[in-house]
Structures are given as structure tokens and as C-alpha cells.
Chains A and B, each alone.
Chain A
Amino acid sequence: MTRHTDDDGDAGDANGTNERGDDPVAERAATDGGVESASGGAESATGGTDSTELDPDAYDPVDVFPGGDLDLREGADSCYKCTSCDTSCPVAEVDDEFPGPKFQGPEQWRLKRKEDHDIDESITSCSNCMRCDDACPSSVPLSQMHNEARGQYVERQMEKLSVEYIRNRILANYRTSASLASKFPRTASFAMNFGPARWAMEKVMGIPKERDFPEFATETFREWWKARGGAKVENPDKRVAYFHGCYSNYNTPEVGKAMVRVYEHFGYEVMVPPQKCSGTPMFANGMLDDARRHAETNVENLVEAIGQGADVIASCTSCSMSLRQEYPELFDLHGIEDLAEHTFEALEYLRIHEDLEGELDAAGGLDDERAFAYHAPCHARNQGLSRQAVETFRDVDGVTMEDVGDSCSGISGTYGWKEEKYEKSMEIGEEMFEHMEDAEGEVGMTECPTCAMQMEHGTGYEIEHPLQLLEDALGA
């Protein structure tokens, strides 16, 4: 809680030296990247880079890896076994075999301090929804403990040639498959959902046949951005760097486009730095090395954008969670704290910096009535954002927005994509499905792309992102 509280001040100052001397358009071209190849250079660079003008003394690098492991003793010690965390765990609620967050966190941590205690295999059943973090009155860093234990389990105890490991690795590296598939979007969407192929995937890979693979867009967000010629608004005083994440790039570029149009409506200059996966699916599968490689690229490019006066915006709540909380908890990369401090979820940022309600009021609402069943993703909940969509749209004419309750959707990223978890994932989601069907709206709404998949899968509803509604309501 005593992390820096000073605002953009220091980044702004640091960047004052190179500020606006350069042509902002040229500068943008350099960071826009457009297509993947532009990130090639960043790829080889690791950690502490000198590519920005930021003052290295302004950082307090995380020094929590004294012996290679995170030192979480203090966290473990402050657990007073109240079991609040256990009562909020969606997995423990349906899975007999899962001992719950209290065991996975403080208890397992204590156990493995002693002798050569192996990490309990059940750690792989934790879906990394991070609800337990929110529940603990003592601020025990439960999800950090889980991430670390899972990483250690996968690294030291998991059979690297097992189908499970390979499957998890493929799921975790969704970006790689998505990037390939997006080269042939129509074929990929068809082939992955093609009966015999699905059957084989279930049998060989443990991917449940019930799930439909998300469709791939025929034009990715980055392709669109490049074809459009990048930003339409230049504004050295109001800049945001968009972290689109894999999903809105490859699958739902309409979310990214809505983000761009809404922000330009408010006069922001949008930058789209080169980037990789946020790492969320990798944390959840204990693939910390993979996550770290991606984080290096992201931190480097986003910190550079911050140096140019931008704040970082994500439209996926797991991405913003990852940049804000999991990165600094797990890695000690140069600039990581600065990135955490400058990262926001897209709607959140507008609510803080603009008179969104006034603007919506002035825009006069929608022409036709629309009703939505809104589900707050767990990772929105943890950032205090679970109510933002309901509150933003509550007074907009023509919009009915109903919160479908606080149950977890059950998919939790890759969790629901595993054959052995599929049924549990649907059981967790059942309450949400029921509430969606009870709600007036026939369209679902959420900030999380995987929750959206689950909502669609469980109810057949079409799902939108709040930014898309915002775009419509503002006439942006």
C-alpha cells in the first residue's frame, strides 16, 4: 500500500527531455509497429533496457527473489485461518479433490519450507481466478503464492513429455496458435471445429469436444490499424498506449476498434506498441518462463510509450490485472513498477479522466432499446471494476443493464478448456447461466474474452464488450 503514490509526474518529467522535439507522427510510426515483425528487435532485448529516457533511479526494482524463490513468509504468517478464502473459491465449491486456497497458499508454503516437501499436485487445479486474494481480510498474497507454487510444480515435478504438459503449453501459448490461425482465418475456424478434428483433439490432447473454438477474424486488429494509417488524432497532452491482448487482435478486433474510436472521440492520441501475450494463461498453467519472455517484450515497449507521455490501456481485465499486479509480483524487470502504475482498464480510465456520464447524457442515448445481462469477470472484481459497466450505463436512455450476480463464469481462461475440468467449469458457471436467462436482456456483456466464450457457450447469447456499447451510445 505504500507503493509510489505520485502520479504521472515523474514519467512526464523524465520524458520531458525528449518531449515533442521529435515529430510525433514519426515517433508514432516507430512505436506503432503495425505488424509483428516490428517487434523483432525487442525480442532479443531483455530486462533492463536503456531504450527509454526514464531515470533508472526512479525505480525500486522488486527484490523478492533472494534465494531464487519469492520470500512470502510474512504473507504466510499473517494467515489466521479464518477460511474466508476457502468460502470464495469457485473451484473448491465443485471439486472434491481441491483442498482450497488456504491449503494451496499459506499451508503448502509452510510445508514446502520443511525438508524436501513436494508441491501438491492439486495446485494445478487452481484456475487463478484470484478471488481468494480479494476475500482475505489479512491481505495474504494468495494468488502470488499459487502462481509461484504452480511454477515450481510444473518446472520440477511435471513430466515434460506428458500429454497434459503439452496440451497446457499449447493452451497457454494461445497467441502462437492464434497468430498462425489468423494467417488462414476461414480455414482455421473451420478446421478447428471440424468434427473429426475435434474428436482427435479430445482423445489425443484432452480438449473437450463440447467447446467451439473461437472464430478468427479475417482482418486482425493490427492489420486494421495499419491499413487505417494508425492514429487519426495527434495530441501530445493526451496519449494512451493500447494493450489489445491476443483476443481482441485475433478474434474480436471490433472491441479494439471501438476502443480506438471512443478514445479518439475524447481527443486521445492512441498508440499501439508492439506486444505479446499478457501472460495470464501462462501463470495459470505454471509456465512462468514463457510468461517472463512475453513480459519482457511488453514491459519494454509499454515503458517506452509511457516515456512518451502515454498511459497504458487494456480492454481485457485479465491483461490489465497481469500488467498491474502479477508482473510486479512475479518478475523483477526494469520499469515494471512504472508500468503497473500507469496501467488502466479502458472504461476505468475514461471514468477517472473524463466526464463520461455528462458526455453520455449529452449524446442522448440509444435510438433503439437494448437490454444486457452483464457479468463481471473475476479479474475485474479484483481491480474494483465489477460495477463499472452497470453504473456507467445505468442512466443511459435506451439501455437496460442488469448485473447477473457475483458467481464466477467457470471458464477461467484455460481452465474450462481442459477435458478433465470441462464439467466442473460448467457447474461453476451454472448460476451465471441461470441468472442470464432470468435477466431481461438477450445479449450478454463482459470485459473478459474467455468469460464471453463461456457465456455464449452456456446460453447461446451474443456477447458484447462495454466499449462497443459505449461507442454506440456516444455515436463515436
Chain B
Amino acid sequence: MAINSDVLVVGGGLAAVAAAVSAAREGADVRLVSHKASTLRQASGLIDALGYVPATEPAKPLRDGPPTAGRNLDPDEWPDPEGPLADPFEGIDRLPESHPYRVVGGDALRDGLDLFDDLAGDAYRGGHTERNALVPTFGGAVKPTARYPAAAEAGLASDDRPMLVVGFRSLTEYDARAFAGRLEAAGVPFDVAGAEVEFAEAFRADAKITRVAKALDHDEEIDGVPAREALAKAVAPHLHDVVDESGGVDRVERVGFPAFLGDDEGDEVREELADRLGADVFEIPMGPPSLPGLRLEDRLFDALDAEGVRFETGNPVVGVESASDGRVETVAVDRNGRTTPYGADAFVLATGGLVGKGLDSDREGVREPVFDLHVDQPEDRYEWFVDDAFGDQPYARFGVRPDERCRPADAEGNVQYQNVFAAGGVVGGADAAREKSASGVSLATGIVAGRQAATEASQ
């Protein structure tokens, strides 16, 4: 006997959760099967919708011949991307026609973000406006993003209060001074200083951030002093480090830390530090590894439970088991070496892109390994890349090509299976890294795929 449901969602990231919840809200009996923990664990925890519209054509007409290959030629010159965009919706029309936002429409993105707000609750901010917020990240950039963790709120770059950024001598990955310097160079409207303090020395040289987070959660004693107090004491001498243009010294009003201020008790940790320091405290998203991503993942899976979605993680879907006249009936789930059939009336494929393993690439080309759906790609491998690293890389847009109902098309442009819908990173057409659109694409396509799968299942 197969394990049956109305809708089976394959994958466990943001797109899969969005699809599963929206299908369940349409009344479908939904099951979600995910192989591994999602890429949320590596992601920053920021929910980007659309931050930039990158150029898809080079500044000068392309040289003759294939757009790349010529290692001896000068790289093509590409105009800078347009942005950061204040309003993500306003940029949609200028994206290529095959972009998922153009295919499913701007309202799908709105609905997807609404769904996210509902699931994330008070853990996230940004839902009060359609505009992007500017959030500093440890990469040194100020990033336009649609939703950000409440823990990052006091760090917004649009806020003009003076800021101190804390790093730790023993954690060289987080170079607070360099970070402060980059923020100033980016022209932020506030004064900022970075300080390296002594605190993480109490832990082993390469202690995991989860270790530090847990110590703060439990307020463990570090050399006889409770962890939160010890951290505040280490930071306190630097509250006057900010020097403004005229050489005056300001007491900072907000202090930023790498994102490991507690896990379960994050709010409490931040509050106590803020009390002790007399300044707002915020986390700067970073990754990987990413605690904000982990926390979001926990929250989303709790939401699945609350919505009555059945889910299991740990086993991959390895292929289609039976199909007839354009419909998939069962897929095979590999359970430690043995496959079990899972049947459904409709399927959502949300297995992610090359990182999530939803797309597989080798010398022969790029494949979608679960349903063996068509992945649009130039035949000639040389055409996968352009010379300029910042140019419009064809490979970045690889993926399955959906119609407006999110059903992937075959090489001829016909719907491959009537009851298979795709969402998230496995969908092609977006250059998420340059556009800053990854989570938005997952939410917009996730909500459409989920609803359409529920509709299909109820036929």
C-alpha cells in the first residue's frame, strides 16, 4: 500500500513550506517530504523580495560569436544593476519576461509575503510597508530586503542614531572595525565605530556559535560571571567610541553583535543586554552558519504542525514510480536503501537549486533528478557563462520553466505533467543572487504552486 495524500510537497525549504501551508489552507490533505535540513540554515534569515534589477544586456553590443569562450578577448562590459530599489514591486516590469515574478505576477509575491508574515508572527518585521528596508550584513553590505528578523530591527541603515558594532578578538571572521569602515564608505546616515572586545576568549578557540548562543540562553557562568553580564561588561568601555566628523564623541544608542545572541531565549538576551548597556541591541545577519536561519526554520516547521501538514525529513524522493497520460501517480521515497511509494493527486517540487540539490549538474548538463523535468540550458557549455563575473550569467537562471500555474514545461513548451507544480530555487528564470530575490521567488511560486496543487487535487 502506498502512503497517500491529496498533495505531496517534495522539499523542505521556504518554498516547500509556503506551498504546503497554502495547499492545506485550500482544504487539501498535505504531506511534505524533505531529504535534509533546508538551506535556511545557511541563509541569512533575511527575506529578500527584489533589491536590484540587473542588466541583461551588456553595455556595448555583444561581440560576434558565442557570448563568452574567448579567453583572449576583453570581457564584455556590463552596466551596474539598477538599485537598491525602494519598492520591490515597482521593479518587476523591468525583469525579463521569463522571470518567475513576471510569470506568476506581482500579486503572488504580495500574497507570499502576507503568508510569510502570518507564519513568522512577531519574530519578523517589515510587513507594515511595501518598501524595502536596508539591513547591514556582516558581508559589509547594506542590503535591501523585504522582511527582517525582529532581532535585526535596531540596526536598520535608514535609522540615523550612532552605532557601535562589536566583534570578538578570538572570532576573526567577524571583523567589527572593517565592518564599520565599510558602512561608512557606503555613506550611511549615522556615525559608526567598531570595537573588538574580549568575551569569546572564554570559549575554546573555535567554539561553535551555537555554543556561545546556548551559554547566553542559559546565562551560564563564564569565569564566575554570568554570561550576559560578562558580555555587557566587555562592551561597556566602548560605548563612547563613536567620533563624529567634528571630532566630538557621542554615546552610542545602539549596539550590533554577530547573530548569536541566544537561540531559544534570544529576546530575553537582547533585552537584558540593552538594559545593562543603556542602548538598543541588535544582531547583524551573517551566514553560514546562521542562527537567524535556524530560528526561522524552527518557526516554519512549528507552523506546518499547526496547519495540520504531515511532514517527514530524512529521506529523499528519488524518482517517479508510476505515471500515466501526463499525470504522476506515485513517487519513490528512499528510506535507508529501500524505496517506498508515496501517492498523491498532485505534487509540488520544491527541492531548491544547485545548493539545495534540486538541480544536479555534471559535464553532460543540468538535470532535475526527481521528476526528470526539462531544464532550459544552452547546448554548448561555453554559453553557460559570460566572462564578466558581474555579468548576466546564463547558468544563474537555470531551472525548470513554469507556466502561470507553476507547471513546468518540456523542451517544446508543453506542460510536462498536469499535476506537477514547481516552486522556489528549482524554478529557473531568476538571477536570485544579483537581484536579491531568492526568498521572494520561493514565496511567490510556493503560494501559487500550493494553491494550484490543491485545486488540481480536488478535481
Contact = CB atoms under 8 A, between A and B. Distances in A.
Contact of A86 (B289, B336, B355): B289
Contacts, number: 127
User: Of residues B206, B289, B290, B334, which shows the largest number of chain A Cβ atoms within 10 Å of its Cβ?
Assistant: B289
Contacts of A135: 36-37, 41
B314 A88 contact: no
B198 to A, nearest CB: 16
B318 interface: yes
Contacts of A352: 1, 3, 340
Interface in A341-374: 341-343, 348, 351-355
A387 B210 contact: no
B339 interface: yes
B337 interface: yes
A355 B332 CA distance: 19
Contacts of B190: none
Can you list the 7 inter-chain pairs with the closest CB atoms, starting with the nearest?
Answer: A384-B314, A384-B315, A324-B336, A83-B289, A87-B289, A384-B312, A92-B208
Given A3-B334, A87-B294, A386-B313, 12 more contacts: A1-B316, A1-B318, A3-B337, A7-B339, A82-B42, A88-B41, A94-B214, A340-B336, A341-B338, A352-B340, A354-B1, A431-B264
Contacts of A381: 313-314
A403 B36 CA distance: 20
Given A84-B37, A87-B208, A97-B204, A386 B334 contact: no
Interface string A4-19: 1101000000000000
Nearest to B209: A87
A146 B123 CA distance: 37
User: Of residues B36, B42, B298, B338, which shows the largest number of chain A Cβ atoms within 10 Å of its Cβ?
Assistant: B338
Given A136-B36, A137-B36, A328-B337, A385 B314 contact: yes
A353 B313 contact: no
A215 to B, nearest CB: 32
Interface string A141-180: 0000000000000000000000000000000000000000
Interface of A: 1, 3-5, 7, 82-84, 86-89, 92-97, 99-100, 134-137, 139, 321, 324-325, 328, 337, 340-343, 348, 351-355, 381-388, 390-391, 403, 406, 427, 430-431
Contacts of B209: 87
Contacts of B305: 390, 403
Interface in B334-374: 334-340, 355-357
B335 A96 contact: no
A397 to B, nearest CB: 17
A385 B337 contact: no
Nearest to B42: A82
B335 to A, nearest CB: 6
A353 B213 CA distance: 43
A93 B1 contact: no
15 contacts: A7-B338, A86-B208, A87-B291, A89-B210, A92-B210, A93-B211, A93-B214, A97-B204, A135-B36, A139-B36, A321-B336, A340-B336, A382-B314, A386-B312, A403-B305
Contacts of B411: none
Contacts of A100: 208
Nearest to B305: A403
A382 to B, nearest CB: 5
B66 interface: no
User: Of residues B207, B289, B311, B336, which shows the largest number of chain A Cβ atoms within 10 Å of its Cβ?
Assistant: B336
B416 interface: no
Contacts of B294: 87
A93 B208 CA distance: 7
Interface of B: 1, 3, 33, 36-37, 39, 41-42, 203-204, 206-211, 213-214, 218, 264, 288-291, 294, 298, 301, 305, 310-316, 318, 332-340, 355-357
B210 A99 contact: no
A86 B290 CA distance: 11
A89 B42 contact: no
A137 B355 contact: yes
Contacts of B291: 87
A199 B357 CA distance: 53
B224 to A, nearest CB: 16
Contact of B208 (A89, A385, A388): A89
A406 B339 CA distance: 26
Contact of A137 (B203, B207, B335, B357): B357
Contact of A99 (B206, B298, B312): B206
Contacts of B312: 384-388
Contacts of B340: 352
Contacts of A136: 36
Contact of A87 (B1, B210, B310, B338): B210
A10 to B, nearest CB: 12
Nearest to A395: B308
A406 B298 CA distance: 9
Contacts of A382: 314
A348 B33 CA distance: 15
Contacts of A383: 314-315, 335-336
A96 B1 contact: no
